[in-house]
Amino acid sequence: MFSFDFYQTAYLSAGIFYMLIWLVFYLLRKDLHRQMLIVGLFLIGTAPINVIWHGDYWSPPYIFGELFRFEDFFWGFAFAGVAAVAYKVIFASELKLTQPKSFQSIAANLFRVLFLIIFPLVVLTNIFHINSIYSISIGLIFALLYMYRVRPDLIYDMLWSGLFSFIFILVFYIIWQYPYPEVFYRFWKLDAISGIMLLGIPVEELVWFFLAGAFIGPLYEFITGATVVRCTK
């Protein structure tokens, strides 16, 4: 007999939260549509990471079951689009591309930063059996350091994007615990991480969202060579 657990809607609600912000940004800034869509689709392509590695960290239920993890794609697209442009929207900035890069150059830049994230994830988790949330956070730090070394002008984009990502998820998680009071105890494997909680939220989650936002925020600019300038209109 079919049974439905209200907590099955929890992950979907996270995607809806970010999609609402995504829609606001999309309506406000037509000039950022391309960036929002490209970065969002890119993060959808990384959804297998959640399937392959993150089972040691969390295991949410899916409305359509494990065979079709719709929420991974929906949330990933919305979160990436928001993180990619939050700094530009809030600070009324725009992108300026003076010298377009070749496809080969863009692909090379993307490969390097992805390698710096995925290599530590594979080695630390698969070989040294370190929880994937720590492994991928270390990888994000490596990628951010590399991006800063190559493009130090993106430092404010990194830091503010990380901060906005942190604020958005903190607000959401605080609200989220009212309809889903046991969500972190049901979905997250708290015995496999530090157990340190901030306002009922695993601290690893907040750190990851800061790092992920700091990475995604300037990613489009980094791989295309675009710069961030104040809006002229």
Alpha helices in the chain (DSSP H): 10-28, 33-44, 47-52, 70-90, 103-122, 132-150, 155-176, 183-187, 203-216, 219-224
Distance from the Cα of residue 2 to its chain's centroid: 33
Tens digit of pLDDT for each residue in 147-189?
Answer: 999 999 999 999 999 999 999 999 999 999 999 999 999 999 9
Asked if 219 contacts 113 with a C-beta cutoff of 8 angstroms, the reply is yes
In a domain, 42, yes or no: yes
Which two tokens mark 34? 């391309």
Q: State how many domains the chain has.
A: 1
Asked if 60 contacts 10 with a C-beta cutoff of 8 angstroms, the reply is yes
Q: What is the dihedral of CA 144, 146, 151, 155, to 10 degrees?
A: 30
- Across the chain, mean pLDDT equals 89
Confidence bin at 4 (pLDDT 50/70/90): low
Tens digit of pLDDT for each residue in 65-108?
Answer: 777 788 888 999 999 999 999 999 999 888 887 777 777 888 88
Residues 200-215 as b/e (b if ≥16 CB within 10 A, e otherwise) read ebbebbbbbbbbbbbb
In a domain, 107, yes or no: yes
Distance CA 192, CA 212 (A): 21
Residue 224's domain comprises: 6-230
pTM for the structure as a whole: 0.92
In a domain, 1, yes or no: no
User: Which one, of 33, 39, 19, 157, lies nearest residue 88 by Cα?
Assistant: 157
Which two tokens mark 67? 């065979």
Asked if 66 contacts 73 with a C-beta cutoff of 8 angstroms, the reply is no
Amino acid of residue 51: V
What's 100's DSSP letter? P
Tens digit of pLDDT for each residue in 21-74?
Answer: 999 999 999 999 999 999 999 888 776 776 676 778 888 888 877 777 888 889
